[in-house]
Structure 1
Amino acid sequence: MSTVYLVGAGPGDPGMLTLKAKEVIETCDVMIYDYLANADFLKWCKEDCEILYVGKKGGDHTLPQDKINELIIEKARTGKTICRLKGGDPYVFGRGGEEAEELVEAGIDFEVVPGITAGVAAPAYAGIPVTHRDHTTSVCFITGHEDPTKEKSGHNWSVYGQSNSTLVFYMGVKNLPMIAENLMKNGRAADTPVALVRWGTRCEQTSMVSTLENVAEDAAERGFKAPSIIVVGGVCSLHDKLGWFEKKPLLGQGVVVTRAREQASGMVKTMRDLGACVYEFPTISINPLENADEVEEHALQLGRWDWVIFTSVNGVKHFWQHLRNAGLDARQFGGINVAAIGPATANALRDRGINPDFVPKKYVAEHVVKGLLDLDIAGKKVLIPRARVAREILPAELTRAKCDVKVLPVYETTLAEESGAEIEKALEEGRIQYVTFTSSSTVENFFQLVKAEKVQDCPHVKMACIGPVTAKTLRDYGLTPDIQPEDYTIPGLVQSILDDK
């Protein structure tokens, strides 16, 4: 049986999507989404999900509503599960009720998954509670853009004007002069606080507070456009006192994260928590080996090595997978010294029951070798599980110290199958302020996908490199690293960007 889910995508912040909505997105066969539904959610769709964009941008619809209704019904009649993803809540000025009626007439089963509506969320992110005991005990949600074909307006301006309710207008920026005038004509004081919140809850959010008398002129001067929520009432006076979101240090700053998708989630979350507009652009794809016989053979004979040196979290992850495939676990490391290059690698080992014997203070090969030599590694048998292609300095220096070194590929990295068109467009439009690189391979792969001159033409864009080796690779492409932390870690890189602000 086909089911259509009318799903509220929330106001824009990805963290405000409900668990139920995420479940539907992950399992649907067809995704039909709107302009205001965050496109980041599409990455959760199944590989074979059919994804259809139907617009619904004010004054510029990719499909008119009647055609959207027909499309939903057409897809549902194929027996597939449909996710109709709509910004905010489908039943709060989302025309979800109309779509539901069409589905009932067509005899198609449907369910509604409510979403957090912008009329509550956007003011909250701007420091405005829509109800407050000292100001009002009620709130009224109002469309600022009525159906132009209606014979009679649904607005009762005398009620709005004489009420003490907080008034929240959706889609009303174009009609702001008319809204303000009608409210004042019908009893609202000219000095009543009014707030506008544009792109509420998103990294692009901006807000302003004025009065009914001046708001239309002030909004025009500041260039406020759709999509914006208009809030009228005494609660708007709390904007400056309770505002929190727009104080985030990286709010509105475009940051490109080039790490592999498997590794990027922590950095992406941190940047988003700081307010950045994150462009996930995984230039590296991390893949298991096609033939892992050699890895499993060495896993079975681990006891012949004096040291095992892990240079990355991925090395730990993939080596452990091969251990499990061979029916083995951490007990194989009994009596063996283990080194971890970097705190994240060390934590990955600890999570698997191994407390590293050595973690260098600096995470480049030259410092690693010095620390290991201080631990009498010279002349010992050393196994290095790592990527198939990586820097050769560590094994070369250990070999010079008369170590018996075996480099064991446990995974491989390839160029991610991504187009650089979106990043190039964002650079041209000035939406990107930082590009982050966490390894030499992220630099090399980035410039296989994005023309170096596109970056060179944007002097406002800063290059952030995790360490000196990555910075040297960037210089090879004719670009100067602007940011480089003393601590060659992701947290260090993030902190350096914050220090740059």
Structure 2
Amino acid sequence: MKNRAEGEEGGDLTRSAARVAAPGTVYLVGGGPGDPGLLTERGAELLSSAEVVLHDELIHPALLSRVRPDAVVMAVGKRGADRASKQAKQDAIEAELVRFGRAGKSVVRLKGGDPYLFGRGSEEAEALSRAGVPFEVVPGVCSPLGATAYAGFSLTHRDLASSVTLVSGTMRSGAGYDWSELASVKGTICVLMGMHNLEEVVAGLLGPSRREPATPAAVIQWGTRAEQRVVQGTLAEIANKARAEGLGSPGIVLVGAVAARREALRWFDTRPLFGKRVALLRPRGQAQSAAKRLRQRGAEPYVWPAIEIGPPPDPSAVSALVHELGAWDVVAFTSENGVERLFAAIAEAGLDARAFGRAKVAAIGTGTAAALLARGIRADIVPADFRGEGLAVAILADEEIRERLSEKKIVRVVIPRALVAREALPEMLRAAGCEVRVVPVYETRRAGAERAAELVQRFSEKSIDVVLLSATSTVEGLVAALGAQAGALLSGVTVASIGEITTESARARGIEVAVTAETSTMEGLVEAVERYFTRK
């Protein structure tokens, strides 16, 4: 049985290695229609392992957060009406793909939608084939499927449409599409790349295509994203309606009976947070899960780290703690940052979770407990009240701890945390008779002047609807960045706080808090904001 298990494990490792981007290979990856959550699993694997990434202009920026830190990332957009210029840029893209491939680099060519649907993916594949460079194509969710589904349209319907025709509104030669080809075609028509000449598209559909003026139609801009906008009407009026509403590229035109059935099928843009621009003031690495939750609810997160996490003032104290963890009765974590930093020190020392030995491990909340579990430690103590006071009560209520204290035995508690933090936890434990040591494993610093100016500009442009405060440190960082203008800049902005302590801190600094989460986690905060807008 042992040999079989080892063989299976080896096979898994081999398969895993085969999934990463291979040297000297170019991958034409479909990035999907906009929502970064629609990237395929294969696309995500390659994007996170490739040495070079060449991406289209309209790719959602969040997709690039998956790229490895040392990768070469190049934007190769070629929008515009000048066909000669666009062709020259396309030739340059193909030359770059060949150059990197021949140099032995693993390359992802990240394209919007699907690489082969009305894009230049096939041309790039042909260029690679001519050059003898290996390539792989990873299909993506195309905009006719993704944008229509998010906008509330079904391309086919058993009672209305049994076929779909996809048309490019822009031909390579610059000539218009021969709409007479659709004269005998029934069902649904989707026109891509037709927004710049929308009037000509409509004229072609009404004329040579023989569509009735009263045919239902719709225009979808920025489908699947928080910026998504939809206009409906008849084919005869849809161009004027879309222009009046300011809709432009990127967009698709939907024509057919299915375009009249949106109300029953809408789901994305009816969500309470749809279209809300939400400022996340957490360190970038910790904001990703909350950003994902917001996008799933139709919001668009803006990550602005109010604080930066830096090394502790005395690294030797952290190193010493790593080698004596098992000698403590309780190791109490008050944040995910504390978990991350201490485990980094444990790994640097060549150790693992076994370094905790007999010590009980306490976590201030479910988020911190999840960070521990991801590293092989299941927290022994997690309070119902996610504050320092709650953690102290939970530690003192532990049966073994309570018994030791009642017998006048020493209970030693170490708290790996930030250099500056609330003192409620250590003070309550000391008052109960515990021996407590606080070991700073990281230090928080406020964002610099350049980053502060970026935030001020966002608020000045009224491009933030909601601010999420996840800790007192984010409150301090926000106030420091906005300065004397804080009150005016936050006017009309919904401010939401992760818990009562953070709310008190904000109000003490003149910030009015509209939402305070009942459960002090980022998930609880996002849900509280969603409930708030649902009620409104």
Moved more, 371-380 or 292-301: 371-380
Q: Secondary structure at the match of 2:451?
A: coil
Match of 1:344 in 2: 367
The whole-number CA distance in structure 2 between the counterparts of 1:115 and 1:455 is 45
Moved more, 321-330 or 141-150: 321-330
2:154 partner amino acid: P
Matched, 1:182 2:213: no
Instruction: State the Cα deviation string for residues 356-379 of structure 1 (Å, max 9, x = none).
Output: 34x433233345445656675697
Offset at residue 250 of structure 1 (A): 0.8
Q: Which moved more, 1:69-78 or 1:88-97?
A: 69-78
Distance in 2 (CA, whole Å) between partners of 1:60 and 1:475 is 54
Contact 1:455–1:461 (8 Å) recurs in 2 = no
Give the residue type in structure 2 aligned to 1:488.
S
Partner deviation per Cα, 1:132-174 (whole Å, 9 max, x = no partner): 3322222111112334644xx441x233244213111012234
Query: How far does the alpha carbon of each residue in 1:241-283 deviate from its partner, in whole angstroms, 9 at most, with x for none?
Result: 2222222221110111122233323322221111110112233
Q: How many Å separate the matches in 2 of 1:326 and 1:297?
A: 14
Deviations 1:2-35 (A, max 9, x none): 5443332211111111233333333444433222
Report the Cα distance in structure 1 between the residues aligned to 2:50 and 2:84, rounded to whole angstroms. Answer: 22
Q: Distance in 2 between matches of 1:40 and 1:281?
A: 14
Aligned with 2:414 (options 380, 383, 387): 383
Give the structure 1 partner of residue 468 of structure 2.
Answer: 436
Letter in 1 for 2:512: T
1:216 aligns to 2:216 (yes or no): no
- For the structure 1 residues 345 and 214, does the alpha-carbon distance in structure 2 shift closer, same or farther, using more than 3 Å as the test? same
- What is residue 356 of structure 1 aligned with on the other side? 380
Conserved? CA contact 1:55–1:63, under 8 Å: no
Report the AA paired with residue 413 of structure 2: V
Q: Does 1:396 align with 2:427?
A: yes
Give the aligned residue type for 1:382. V
Q: Which amino acid aligns with 2:112?
A: G
1:380: Cα distance to partner?
A: 4.2
**Unaligned residue ranges in structure 2 (runs of 5+):** 1-22
Contact 1:125–1:243 (CA<8 Å) still a contact in 2?
yes
Deviations 1:104-141 (A, max 9, x none): 56665544333221122111222222223322222111
- 1:427 partner amino acid: F
- The SS at the match of 1:463 is strand
Match of 2:191, SS state, is: strand
TM-score when normalising by structure 1: 0.85
The SS at the match of 2:242 is helix
Instruction: Return the offset for 1:420.
Output: 4.6
Whole-Å separation in 1 of the counterparts to 2:56 and 2:325: 55
SS in 1 for 2:156: coil
Q: Deviations over 1:403-446 (max 9, x none)?
A: 32211233444456883555444433333211112112223334
Runs of 5+ in structure 1 lacking a partner? Answer: none
How far has the Cα of 1:495 moved from its partner? 2.4
Matched, 1:143 2:143: no
- The residue aligned with 1:498 is 530
Checking the alignment, whether the CA contact within 8 Å between 1:330 and 1:354 is kept in structure 2 is: no
Partner of 1:233 in structure 2?
256
Q: Where do 1:129-208 residues align within 5 Å? A: 129-147=154-172, 149-150=174-175, 153-155=176-178, 157-186=179-208, 187-208=210-231
Secondary structure of the structure 2 residue equivalent to 1:246: coil
The answer as to whether partners of 1:161 and 1:184 remain within 8 angstroms in 2 is: no
Aligned to 1:262: 285
Indicate yes or no: 2:118 matched with 1:93.
yes
Task: Work out which of the residue numbers 231, 256, 267 in structure 2 matches 1:244.
Answer: 267
Structure 1 CA distance for aligned equivalents of residues 315 and 83 of structure 2: 52
CA distance in 1, matches of 2:96, 2:172: 26
How many residue pairs match? The answer is: 496
* 2:73 alignment partner, one of 30, 51, 68: 51
The TM-score normalised by the length of structure 2 is: 0.80
Q: Is the 8 A contact 2:278 2:299 kept in 1?
A: yes
> 1:255, 1:436 within 8 Å by CA — same for their partners in 2?
yes
Counterpart for residue 484 of structure 1: 516
Structure 2 CA distance for partners of 1:481 and 1:3, relative to 1, 3 Å: same
Residue type of the alignment partner of 1:491 = E
Residue 77 of structure 1: CA displacement? 2.7
Question: Is the Cα–Cα contact under 8 Å of residues 310 and 341 in structure 1 kept in the other structure?
Answer: yes
Aligned partners of 1:73 and 1:106 also within 8 Å: no
Query: In the alignment, does 2:65 pair up with 1:33?
Result: no
Matches of 1:99 and 1:278, distance apart in 2: 33
Q: Read off the aligned partner of 1:221 and give its amino acid letter.
A: A
Aligned mates of 2:264, 2:221 — CA distance in 1: 19
State which of 403, 407, 415 in structure 1 corresponds to 2:438: 407
Paired residue type of 1:309: A
CA separation in 2, counterparts of 1:317 and 1:149?
55
CA distance in 2, matches of 1:74, 1:327: 44
